[in-house]
Chains A and B, each alone.
Chain A
Amino acid sequence: MTPRQPVTDRRSQLLKGVLDMCLLSIIAEEASYGYEMVRKLDDRGLSLASEGSIYPLLSRLQRAGLVEGYLVSSSEGPARKYYRLADAGGAALEQWRNEWQALARSVDDVLDGMARSAPEADEDGGGGRT
């Protein structure tokens, strides 16, 4: 893994709100252990200011019955704790995903609206939405 650049406060704040959802989604894709999840997030451009912050969230997901932890002995070093999706986890993820997508759409709309009313936008309709 490449050394990562410092994460801006704002970005890490935004990520904080959706991190549990991202972890749940990663686990839904494939049972993983903590460090592996950090790497997968990193590969997708989501680097954490402090990686350890995933563990409280994983514990919370486990306590809520959305994921299950289990130990797998590893070739080097001590046994690894993996997390896999529990029955309730799939439904929760589905719901969270819908909520997120609705929110993201609304936020996009608001931001696009601001762009339209910005000075360089002409009055000829709401055409140039990208």
Chain B
Amino acid sequence: MIDRARALDDCAHYWRATGVPPGAVAEMRQELDEHLRAVEADGRRVDAVIGDDVHGFAESWAVERRGSGGRHLQEEEVDNDARTQSADRMRLPLVLLGLGIVGLVLALALAPVDAGSTEDNEAWRWVWTVGAVVLSLAEVATVGFFLLPFGVGMAAAAVLAWLDVNLLSQWFAFFGVSALSFAVVQRFLKAQDLDPQPQVGANRWTGAIGVVLQTIDRHDNVGMVRVGGEEWRATVDGPPIGAGVTVRVVEVRGTRLVVEPHLEIDE
């Protein structure tokens, strides 16, 4: 059961993401807010206004307020909202990292540490080695590249421990190498994000072949096509196209697919 604030946020987020002009979003949000407050004052529920499909409602309204350049947002894109996604992605690694730090502190507290000596390296070799292995395995099991840098740092410290270098240097190596690999991984991820993404949402239809369900006539502002099992409103820049004709999607304009007749010569 959705509450008023959540419904307003969901709708506003959807509208912004689908190209409704900011001024219109603010106005629609306020209008909806006003209505929802009145409904709440009646002791009725928010779904009396919106129904049980918030995005369906948001889209039906957005269609009327979008200029050209907006796009239809697919359900899965909305659900993969960036905020929830990153929150989910960070939770497990953070928990594991916290456990790791607690473990290290305990190990430090229990082990008699003389930072300058090499006497305890026997124990630290194993602490670092096991830590590196555990973090690497955890990295494989989780999403994102959060744990890997610390695993690399521990591996570096383990190497020093096995070489009988003193403990202080091991810790310096752990922090230094961890920080360095963290920076490298972040840069790598950022570069990945800048790579061209596969076409998503409505744009993935560009170039697709479909069939006309309802005559497309830009003067009458009508027309439907079926592409890839979905039905879309369509328009055409040329003369009307009758039902049953095979068409190719040229571009996406607003919430309509712009199509042209597809001559099936390449079959």
Q: Which residues of A contact B (CB under 8 A)?
A: 1, 3, 33-35, 38, 49-53, 55-56, 59-60, 63, 77-81
Contacts and interface: CB of A to CB of B under 8 A. Distances in A.
A35 B39 contact: yes
Contact of B38 (A35, A52, A55, A63): A35
A79 B51 contact: no
B30 A79 contact: yes
Contacts, number: 58
B51 A78 contact: no
Given A34-B34, A80-B34, A51 B64 contact: no
B61 A56 contact: yes
Report whether over half of chain B's contact residues are helix, strand or loop; otherwise say mixed: helix
27 contacts: A1-B44, A3-B43, A33-B34, A34-B31, A34-B34, A49-B51, A50-B47, A50-B48, A50-B49, A50-B50, A50-B57, A51-B49, A52-B32, A52-B49, A52-B57, A53-B60, A55-B28, A56-B60, A59-B61, A59-B64, A77-B37, A78-B30, A78-B33, A78-B34, A79-B30, A80-B34, A81-B27
A35 B27 CA distance: 15
Interface of B: 27-28, 30-35, 37-39, 42-44, 47-51, 57, 60-61, 63-65
B65 A59 contact: yes
